[in-house]
């Protein structure tokens, strides 16, 4: 897709579709008004005839409007003008793409950039539009002999001031880089588990140092290394699988102070989660190939950071293995000494994510991190609590959780803070070891999982994002989320964050 911008209100080319907005009570936007005057009030008459009154999600597609050379004019209802906000902007663009993608429209002149959104400027509006458009037009074609494609090839964003040119250029550059990374994440996450195993993911990671030789170094830790490190919890989970457990460490160094403490991201990379001996139900078990979505998000995040050349030190860790069952599986009742020294009694082998991550949380201490963020498709309970549009966030630091919530809001990756309650942590007492891997509460599972992890996340600011619901949905596949949130967080940390307003 080609993205560009201009100051024009009328396009000379005839094959373009212009997109304008109308608010409640048929109030046209500025540009809408101008076009309406040029059309001798034709646009407003058509709006009246159609019954469109500007409510959110309404739309009207006009052809051959008098005096206007655009082949088509798409009018989108944007609701109450004073209440127009981030979410309505996002919804309107999603609606537009749903309409456009089933037509033969090749080129769009996009005027929603003229709308006021509280505290957000043209940079944000253009960048977000690019991200949403690319997101909506994604298809996973790899295993289809008949590939699906769309006709739309070019988007022109309207900007109204000379002084916005620089912001538009940066927005397009960043929007494209972020969208490309989202596509990479989706492509990897959607792969089947017979292809996307630990060695596939570590091979992809390893190649990053050839693509970005100045800034990226990659180390792969195999089972032999993990044994030496005493990462016994991680090793137990992957022990029965034919695919070796592998942890990829992607080090990106681009801070002017090379000793600057890094920000570390850990992604759960269970390439298939059968549940192990605590076997899952067969219903939708195929979806457990998505249990590596978080690792794939961390991979995509590292690509985006490198493409945007962020002035930071960041370490991305893909914690990969496969949870299978057989004669060599770990079992309920086993007691495992984790890398931290804490002995964990296994009650359920399907609560494997926390066992992998707990050892990585201990391992990362060697990097003396400023911040550690783990991302995981950790609990079905998080889906029950928050559905599939909201990430669960848990943290041991108020400042970190505030920063993440702020990035979530700006990026559109909805996120909700859940508490790590001290009283709940006591529920992990074990009769035979230090702690159990699950307690027998059947409620609050997302919080309890974070409570377990908090035993290991010591001596640094730590946040945990449960993305079991948001990383994939059954009808659309992988979403690439929460990459938008994480890159927004890092743009802010880079202090090259563009003023949003
Ligand atoms: N990978 C699952 C969580 C999951 C469930 C992700 C559904 C995406 C969709 C995780 O390993 C798991 O099985 N968790 C258990 C924990 C339980 C045994 C405490 C769960 O959620 O049932
Ligand atoms: Zn599981
Ligand atoms: Zn899992």
DSSP readout, 102-128? TS---EEEE-GGGS-BTTB-HHHHHHH
Q: Is the pLDDT of residue 501 over 60?
A: no
From the CB of 353, is ligand 1 less than 6 Å away? Answer: yes
At residue 475, the pLDDT reads: 84
Can you tell me the mean pLDDT for 403-428?
96
219 phi and psi angles, rounded to 5 deg: -125, 130
Domain 2-162 has CATH 3.30.420.40: no
Task: State how far the Cα of 492 lies from the Cα of 174, in Å rounded to an integer.
Answer: 13
DSSP 176-237: HHHHHHHHHHHHHHTS-TTTSSHHHHHHHHHHHHHHSTTTEEEEEE-HHHHHHHT-HHHHHH
1-8: average pLDDT: 95
Residue 449 CB-half CA count within 13 A:
33
Instruction: For residues 31-59, give the mean pLDDT.
Output: 95
Q: Is the confidence at residue 483, as pLDDT, over 70?
A: yes
Kindly name the residue from 55, 154, 183, 280 that is annotated as catalytic: 280
pLDDT digits (tens, 9 = 90+) for 424-464: 999 999 999 999 999 988 899 999 999 999 999 999 999 99
Residue 417 forms beta bridges with which residues? 393
Three-state SS for 147?
A: coil
pLDDT of residue 79: 96
3-state secondary structure 386-418: HCCCCEEEEECCHHHHHHHHHHHHHHCCCEEEC
Report whether 125 contacts 89 (CB < 8 A): yes
pLDDT value for 14: 67
Within 8 A by CB and 6+ apart from 281, the residues are none
Binding site membership of 291 for ligand 1 (Cβ less than 6 Å): yes
* Per-residue confidence band for 57, with pLDDT thresholds at 50, 70 and 90: confident
Active site residue 458: no
**Residue nearest atom 8 in ligand 1 by C-alpha distance:** 468
- Give me the CATH topology for the region 180-494: Aminopeptidase (3.40.630)
183 is annotated as an active-site residue: no
Residue 376 backbone phi and psi in degrees, to 5: -155, 145
Say if residues 203 and 323 touch (Cβ distance below 8 Å).
no
What single-letter DSSP state applies at residue 245? P
Å from CA of 81 to ligand 2 middle:
46
Q: Is the predicted pLDDT of residue 13 greater than 70, yes or no? A: no
State how beta strands 107-110 and 154-158 pair.
Answer: parallel
- Please compute the mean of the pLDDT values over residues 101-119 and round it to a whole number: 94
Q: Which of 270, 220, 225, 278 is nearest to 243 (CA)?
A: 270
- Enumerate helices (H) and strands (E) in the chain, giving the number of each: 15, 20
The per-residue pLDDT of the chain, averaged, comes to: 96
| Domain residue ranges of the chain, discontinuous segments joined by + | 2-162, 180-494
- What's the confidence (pLDDT) of residue 496? 72
Ligand 1 and 348: CB distance under 6 A: yes
* 227-254 burial: b if 16+ Cβ within 10 Å, else e: eebbbbbbbbbbbbbebbbbbbbbbbeb
Nearest one of 467, 336, 338 to 394, comparing CA atoms: 467
User: Which pLDDT does position 497 carry in this prediction?
Assistant: 59
- Mean pLDDT in residue range 371-394: 98
The number of beta carbons lying within 10 Å of the beta carbon of residue 193 is 20
The pair of structure tokens assigned to 254 is 């681009």
What is the pLDDT confidence band of residue 306, given thresholds at 50, 70 and 90? Answer: very high
Atom index in ligand 1 nearest the CA of residue 471 equals: 8
Q: Which is more confidently placed, 154 or 474?
A: 154
Contacts of 407 (CB under 8 A, 6+ apart): 413, 485, 486, 488, 489, 492
Mutate which of 280, 285, 380, 474 to test ligand 1's pocket (most atoms within 8 Å of Cβ)?
Answer: 380
For a mutational test of ligand 1's pocket, the pick from 350, 435, 445, i.e. the residue with the most ligand atoms closer than 8 A to its C-beta, is 350
The residue whose two tokens read 């219903």 is 283
DSSP 281: P
**Lowest mean pLDDT segment, chosen from 65-69, 152-156, 237-241, 438-442:** 438-442
């Amino acid at each position: 897709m080609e993205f560009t911008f201009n100051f024009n209100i009328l396009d000379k080319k005839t094959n373009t579709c212009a997109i304008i907005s109308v608010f409640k009570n048929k109030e046209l936007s500025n540009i809408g008004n101008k076009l309406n005057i040029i059309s001798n009030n034709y646009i407003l008459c058509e709006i009246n005839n159609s019954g469109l009154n500007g409510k959110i999600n309404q739309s009207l597609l006009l052809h051959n409007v008098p005096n206007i050379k655009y082949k088509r004019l798409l009018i989108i209802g944007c609701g109450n003008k004073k209440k127009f906000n981030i979410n309505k902007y996002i919804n309107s663009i999603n609606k537009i793409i749903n309409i456009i993608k089933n037509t033969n429209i090749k080129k769009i002149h996009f005027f929603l950039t003229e709308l006021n959104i509280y505290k957000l400027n043209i940079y944000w509006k253009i960048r977000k539009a690019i991200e949403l458009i690319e997101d909506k037009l994604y298809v996973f074609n790899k295993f289809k002999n008949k590939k699906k494609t769309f006709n739309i090839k070019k988007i022109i964003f309207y900007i109204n001031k000379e002084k916005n040119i620089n912001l538009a250029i940066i927005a397009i550059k960043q929007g494209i880089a972020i969208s490309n990374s989202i596509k990479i994440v989706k492509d990897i996450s959607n792969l089947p588990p017979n292809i996307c195993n630990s060695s596939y993911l570590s091979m992809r990671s390893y190649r990053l140092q050839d693509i970005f030789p100045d800034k990226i170094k990659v180390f792969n830790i195999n089972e032999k290394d993990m044994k030496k490190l005493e990462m016994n919890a991680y090793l137990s989970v992957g022990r029965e699988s034919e695919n070796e457990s592998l942890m990829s460490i992607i080090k990106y160094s681009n801070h002017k102070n090379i000793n600057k403490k890094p920000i570390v991201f850990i992604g759960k990379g269970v390439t298939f989660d059968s549940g192990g001996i605590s076997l899952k139900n067969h219903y939708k078990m195929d979806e457990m190939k998505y249990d590596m979505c978080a690792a794939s998000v961390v991979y995509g995040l590292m690509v985006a950071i490198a493409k945007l050349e962020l002035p930071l030190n960041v370490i991305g860790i893909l914690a990969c293995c496969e949870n299978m069952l057989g004669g060599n599986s770990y079992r309920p009742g086993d007691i495992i000494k984790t890398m931290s020294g804490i002995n964990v009694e296994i009650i359920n082998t399907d609560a494997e994510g926390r066992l992998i991550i707990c050892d990585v949380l201990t391992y990362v201490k060697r990097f003396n991190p400023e911040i550690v963020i783990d991302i995981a498709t950790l609990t079905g309970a998080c889906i029950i609590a928050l559905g599939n549009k909201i990430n669960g966030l848990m943290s041991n630091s108020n400042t970190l959780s505030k920063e993440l919530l702020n990035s979530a809001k700006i990026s559109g990756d909805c996120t909700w803070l859940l508490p790590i309650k001290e009283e709940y942590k006591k529920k992990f007492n074990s009769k035979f070891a230090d702690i159990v891997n699950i307690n027998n509460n059947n409620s609050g599972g997302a919080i309890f999982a974070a409570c377990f992890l908090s035993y290991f996340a010591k001596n640094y600011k730590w946040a945990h994002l449960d993305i079991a619901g948001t990383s994939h949905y059954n009808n659309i596949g992988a979403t690439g989320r929460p990459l938008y949130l994480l890159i927004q967080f890092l743009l802010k940390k880079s202090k090259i964050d563009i003023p949003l307003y």
